Amino acid sequence: MSGPAVPTRSAHTEHRPLPLEEAAPTGGLWHRWQEVNRTVSLPLARQWLERAGNLDNLRLAAGEAEGRYRGPVYMDSDVYKVLESAAWELRHVDGADDRQGPDGLRDFLDRTTALLDRAQQDDGYLDSHYQVAQPGGRYTRLVDSHELYCAGHLVQAAVAAHRTTGDTGLLTVARRAADHLADVFLDDEGPGLDGHPEAETALVELYRVTGEGRYLALASALVERRGRGLVGRHKHGARHRQDHLPVREAPAVTGHAVRGLYLEAGVVDVAVETDDAALLAASAHRWQDMVATRTSLTGGLGSRQVGEVFGERYELPPDLSYNETCASAASIQWSWRLLLATGESRYAELIERTLYNAFAAARSADGRTYYKGNPLQRRPDHAEAVGDPRCRDEWFFSACCPPAVTRLVGSLEHYAVTTSEQAGAPTLHLHQYAPLTLSGPFAGGRVGLRIETEYPWRGRVEVTVTEAPAGPWALALRVPPWSTRTRWDTPDEKGVEVTADEQGRAVLHRAWRPGDTVVLHLDLTPRLTLPHPRIDALRGCAAVERGPLVYCFEQTDQEDGAAVDDLALPPDAVFEEVAHDDLDGIGPTVTLRTWAAVVTGAHEAGLPYRTLGSAAAADTDRPVTATAVPYFQWDNRGDGAMRVWTPLLGG
């Protein structure tokens, strides 16, 4: 069983995914998230696919219903993303359990596959909007039509279903669609380029599954044609659609964040499958620039609400950043591909930061509701303002985000481990830490690991080798840069200070036997984090972090009515860590308590500006215990103010 993005044998990558024969989260957050995925989110998503009309649109296309097309042009993509989610989650349920009736994931997958098969046109075209609402309009408005985008998600769903079940039903539909795309778009004189990338990475994945070179050729063509004005005119300009510069030349990510990130995943996929080092380097360069200048502390991307775009360099307003949920998922997909291509730990770092913060915050703890935008601050009067809603919702007119969450959560375990073979030393790399068992072919044999940990709540990670190939191999454990004093116990010595290599990894090369155990002790001491001085919107503030988790202050946790917006943190804050088995129903957590100051100024009636040197309104200042919770758990207990970045006392 493989996960998302599995390069072919001939691909040029430093790392490869471990083809998992078995893998399952056995507890902790990942397990919780997947359980909620299956029991709450997916049933709800399937209800919404009926309620919002997505499935009816396909029934109309199949000639099996009457009525009008409903929703935006890309309604089919939501169906595909839910299908993909179901495909991944099928691995986590007992087959028998899931066959208990029409609510089963298997049944949903089979019935929807059959519907798609009936809806698909003879030439392979499948897009309910154009078939139902605009017959004859196909490929006439690619800048906004999302036709290749939808086809891409169909392909990704089919690839997932094939990888998890071996079934070929959905794959057959997807191949017909892809063959049709190749017929139409491989021609240089074809109709142009989709305004929303996604087909690029999907077609490479389909090539990986089927070996059909035309899919790779088409993906490559779509990538190379970008930046030449072929997308068509858009009110926000070519830059918004990443059509202003060829991908080999563009120095930085720009435009609509989700579009840009999906495109980059495809760029890396094409680069590794075609051994194109220059193409890979261009994408990696943009990733580095994006991380250094356009990424929220939570990993959120797309800092400007207007146009849902990447902002200017260092434009990272905590209150106004859009940080779309789909962008968080897409960022993880891009970083995963770069991690495979280069083997560099920094990509695993960003995956972890994004996963536990911007991404995980999108869904409510109960799995029912979602944020599309994920700001780092909510003001006390947010409910009285006009603009983006500052609360989660079950579904949306443009419902891209909920199934972006469910499909990533469903495949989480695949992002934990990779293998490399450099210099004749087979190495198993553990990038993410979660309670997990896994096994797969490795180093000419078969490897099995059992990971036991309460991470990210505690820093202890116990890795037990349950199966081992013959001969020596290396186990590499990623040591995050925030872990300043890291120790480990190996089969050979205990309590040793870890010396990480230049990739930030603790590596132990030896012959392993089943039962051998390594215990990594990561240092989760809470820390204050400062922003780069160029980030104007964060000047004078600090954020609280603990391990991979960004923390925030929510109004509900503050004592004595201290307003979150009045809090100021001492630079020498010492945090008391308080573990909860279940905090008000949101599950296990660790809250952080510290002394802080509540600074309240007399609010003047005039302008909120004063001359330096003039008398300031009298500030009163009282000590208080302030309590922070993990950002990803925010807004599960009331709609009050929240802030990640908090003024530093005297800052």
- Among all residues, which ones are annotated catalytic? 308, 400
Q: One symbol per residue from 550 to 579: x for binding its own copies (CB under 8 A), - otherwise; what is it?
A: ---------------x-----x--------
The distance of closest approach from Cβ of residue 453 to its own copies in the complex, given in angstroms and rounded to an integer, is 23
Asked if residue 255 binds its own copies (CB under 8 A), the reply is: yes
Report the greatest alpha carbon distance in the chain.
79
Q: Binders of its own copies among 336-395, rule CB under 8 A?
A: 346, 353, 377, 379-382, 384-388
DSSP 181-215: HHHHHSSTTSS---SS--HHHHHHHHHHHH--HHH
Q: One symbol per residue from 385 to 424: x for binding its own copies (CB under 8 A), - otherwise; what is it?
A: xxxx------------------------------------
Q: Binders of its own copies among 287-326, rule CB under 8 A?
A: 288, 291-293, 295, 297, 304-307, 309-320
Q: Name the token pair of 589.
A: 């957590």
The distance of closest approach from Cβ of residue 617 to its own copies in the complex, given in angstroms and rounded to an integer, is 9
Q: Binders of its own copies among 259-288, rule CB under 8 A?
A: 288
Q: Binders of its own copies among 23-82, rule CB under 8 A?
A: none
Q: Kindly tell me which of 4 and 547 has the beta carbon lying closer to its own copies.
A: 547
Q: How many residues bind its own copies (CB under 8 A)?
A: 79
- Is residue 240 within 8 A of residue 203, CB to CB? The reply is no
Q: Kindly tell me which of 31 and 239 has the beta carbon lying closer to its own copies.
A: 239
Amino acid identity for residue 389 in this structure: P
Asked if residue 599 binds its own copies (CB under 8 A), the reply is: yes
Q: Kindly tell me which of 221 and 535 has the beta carbon lying closer to its own copies.
A: 535
Map tokens 């911007």 to a residue: 358
Q: Kindly tell me which of 41 and 325 has the beta carbon lying closer to its own copies.
A: 325
Asked if residue 237 binds its own copies (CB under 8 A), the reply is: yes
Helix (H) or strand (E) holding 335: helix 325-342
Amino acid identity for residue 241 in this structure: R
Q: Which stretch binds its own copies (CB under 8 A): 206-214, 326-334, 502-510, 532-540?
A: 532-540
Asked if residue 535 binds its own copies (CB under 8 A), the reply is: yes
Distance between CA atoms of 638 and 106, rounded to whole angstroms?
A: 37
Among residues 438, 518, 435, the alpha carbon closest in space to that of 474 is found at: 518
Asked if residue 479 binds its own copies (CB under 8 A), the reply is: no
Q: Name the token pair of 224.
A: 């190379």
For 380, other C-beta atoms within 10 Å of its C-beta total 14
Asked if residue 513 binds its own copies (CB under 8 A), the reply is: no
Q: Which stretch binds its own copies (CB under 8 A): 20-28, 65-73, 493-501, 542-550?
A: 542-550
The distance of closest approach from Cβ of residue 309 to its own copies in the complex, given in angstroms and rounded to an integer, is 4
Asked if residue 485 binds its own copies (CB under 8 A), the reply is: no
Among residues 316, 336, 218, the alpha carbon closest in space to that of 268 is found at: 336
Among 12, 450, 527, 580, binds its own copies (CB under 8 A): 527
Q: Kindly tell me which of 64 and 604 has the beta carbon lying closer to its own copies.
A: 604
Q: Is 335 exposed, middle or buried (0-12, 13-18, 19+ CB in 10 A)?
A: buried
Radius of gyration of the chain from its Cα atoms, rounded to whole angstroms: 25
Question: SS3 for 455-477, per residue?
Answer: CCCCCEEEEEEEECCCCCEEEEE
Q: Name the token pair of 335.
A: 């970083």
CA 185 and chain centroid, separation = 29
Among 68, 236, 510, 513, binds its own copies (CB under 8 A): 236
Please give the DSSP secondary-structure letter assigned to residue 301: B
Q: Kindly tell me which of 315 and 452 has the beta carbon lying closer to its own copies.
A: 315
Q: Binders of its own copies among 154-193, rule CB under 8 A?
A: none
Distance between CA atoms of 484 and 605, rounded to whole angstroms?
A: 48
